[in-house]
Structure 1
Amino acid sequence: MRALREEYEVTNPAEGLVDLLDLERIEVNIFRGRSPQESLQRVFGGQVAGQALVAAGRTVEDARPVHSLHAYFLRPGRPGVPIVYEVERVRDGRSFTTRRVKAVQEGRTIFALTASFHRPEEAAFAHQRPPRHLTDPESLPRLADEIRDHLGALPEALERMARRQPFDIRYVERLRWSPEEVRGADARSAVWMRAVGPLGDDPLVHTCALTYASDMTLLDAVRIPVEPLWGPRGYDLASLDHAMWFHRPFRADEWFLYDQESPIATGGRGLARGQIFDREGRLLVSVVQEGLFRAL
């Protein structure tokens, strides 16, 4: 649960996520974001990506929606240290707006993002491959409950983190807990997710909240044939880069299905691809990420 916040108690963790994405504007193109103090070695990558996208979006005057982002995680961020986001206004066109964002912490660039925004227009044509048939979220256990049922009780640290988790996560397939169960497993994973409370009505907040969530489970698909996801981990992992394409409007506080797969892992790196669908089976977002995997 590397995305779980450990700094403060909130009545509704979704409110904490909205607060985390509410950047302080300190100049026309410069913003500052909080980085909560936590026990992790590095700042959660989804937090930095979500905050950087907020910074980019706040400089787009006509509020046109983002249609893609491409990002690199350059250095690990330090928890508890504010992050400054510097936005470059690359292009303001009639149909497309382009922004580049640098995330700077203690004078060093830790993250770089390019985002493109597209004015909605009439489609010349449309098509979409249907999603796999998967179980409805209500019939699945919450992640914390599934872990609690297996272990008998959540360890105290996980219990605290679960209370702060801004997303309800439910794995479509049961978790594997032993090397025997993992052996021969397909490098594929799917989870239902939604924010645990309302996120308001700003479409940019929902886009950035889903960007945050997109980094929470995607690299699971790389690890599934190697080791149990929630047992002792034999590998250190870090996100290297992240790309997203936003196809349709959505709300991150409504159920969405994150279908994830890994076509390859080699040379210390693993590639994962994800597709995010709504309950009606409409494709909302496509995601690709590469991660670094090193034996502990």
Structure 2
Amino acid sequence: MTSVNDLLDLLVLEKINDTEFNGMSKSVGSPNVFGGQVLAQAINAASRTITNGRILHSMHSYFLEAGNLKLPITYNVSIVRDGGSFSVRRVTAHQNETTIFILSASFHKKESGYNHQMKMKDEMKQPEELLSWTDMYNQFGDFLPKHVKSFLEIERPVEFKPTEIVNPLDRKDLPPFSDVWFKLKGDVSTLDLATKQQILTYISDYNILVSALNPHASKAHWGNTQTASLDHSMWYFRDFDFNDWLLFSMESPNASNARGFARGNIYTRDGELVASVAQEGLMRPKD
């Protein structure tokens, strides 16, 4: 995938009936289906059963089994409730007879109310000052460990620019934080809010466990640690524009029992808080 159009081809599901949809998969470098893809496809399925104009404000999900890249994924939507202000949907994803994922999503009618938000970090490096994953591959690819090089060489519809570049050969523990700018490739001028939320959900599964792995970087890395998303929650606060860079600012309060917990906030360049994310992931040292 090289542009937002390729991503939309993946995320917009084939309709089987009013509450059942089919999706296909594309690899992002893992042998299994990327969690962000399943999240976004499930949100696409749930959103297509909303007929009252309500806006997605939160979702909570669990990854139950690794997805097979070669098999289609069927998403079944249960219409749990359409109340006076909120609509709730439950989505179950299957491959053959196996349930691989479940998600609950809540949609809210547009209302006015109080406003406040957590401030973005001060003096954040701007994306124009930073190298992207593509830049890092082009400049340093011949010197990178094999697992890092193979990850960076994959073409993606999103460009990522971390605010700090960590030398993978310099084994030292790091603070439990990570900040990454991201921007879609291609024309995003016609995207509606529901579509933007689905794409943002897809992107939210990238990078977040980095902050949980950082404090153990002297001994742990992606090549010797089994990682997988276990659960994922997201809250959507405000509309936003994909024409400019967005910042995903992440932190990890805890790692224990072969699991790492991370949370993050997504901001516009001018500091408006768009969404918050929380995830616990498997972080199992390999023998």
Normalising by structure 1, we get a TM-score of: 0.89
Q: What is the correspondence of 1:164-243 to structure 2 with a 5 Å cutoff? A: 164-180=155-171, 182-183=172-173, 185-199=174-188, 200-227=190-217, 233-243=223-233
Q: Classify 1:157/1:218 alpha carbon distance in 2 versus 1 (closer, same or farther; 3 Å).
A: closer
Say if 1:46 and 1:216, in contact at 8 Å, map to a contact too.
yes
1:268 corresponds to which residue? 258
Answer yes or no: is 1:287 the counterpart of 2:241: no
Q: Match of 1:239, as an amino acid? A: S
Q: Match of 2:58, as an amino acid? A: S
Q: What is the correspondence of 1:35-50 to structure 2 with a 5 Å cutoff? A: 35-36=25-26, 40-50=30-40
1:7 corresponds to which residue? none
Q: Say which SS state the counterpart of residue 87 (structure 1) adopts.
A: strand
Which string of whole-angstrom CA distances, capped at 9 and with x for unpartnered residues, describes residues 211-258 of structure 1? 000001101111112227996621010100000000101234531100
Query: Which 5+ residue runs of structure 2 have no aligned equivalent?
Result: none
1:138 corresponds to which residue? 128
Which string of whole-angstrom CA distances, capped at 9 and with x for unpartnered residues, describes residues 151-182 of structure 1? 447879957974520110000112232344x3
1:259 corresponds to which residue? 249
Write the distance in 2 (CA, Å) between the matches of 1:144 and 1:68: 32
Say if 1:40 and 1:79, in contact at 8 Å, map to a contact too.
no
2:96 corresponds to which residue? 106
Write the distance in 1 (CA, Å) between the matches of 2:64 and 2:99: 7
Moved more, 283-292 or 218-227: 218-227
Which string of whole-angstrom CA distances, capped at 9 and with x for unpartnered residues, describes residues 16-56 of structure 1? 10100111110110000112367632100000000000000
Say if 1:83 and 1:103, in contact at 8 Å, map to a contact too.
yes
Moved more, 135-144 or 256-265: 135-144
Q: Match of 2:284, as an amino acid? A: R
Query: Which 5+ residue runs of structure 1 have no aligned equivalent?
Result: 1-9
Say if 2:141 and 2:149, in contact at 8 Å, map to a contact too.
no
Answer yes or no: is 1:18 the counterpart of 2:13: no
Write the distance in 2 (CA, Å) between the matches of 1:228 and 1:175: 12
Normalising by structure 2, we get a TM-score of: 0.91
Write the distance in 2 (CA, Å) between the matches of 1:80 and 1:233: 24
2:50 corresponds to which residue? 60
Matched residue count: 283
Q: Say which SS state the counterpart of residue 161 (structure 2) adopts.
A: strand
Answer yes or no: is 1:277 the counterpart of 2:276: no
Write the distance in 1 (CA, Å) between the matches of 2:28 and 2:193: 28
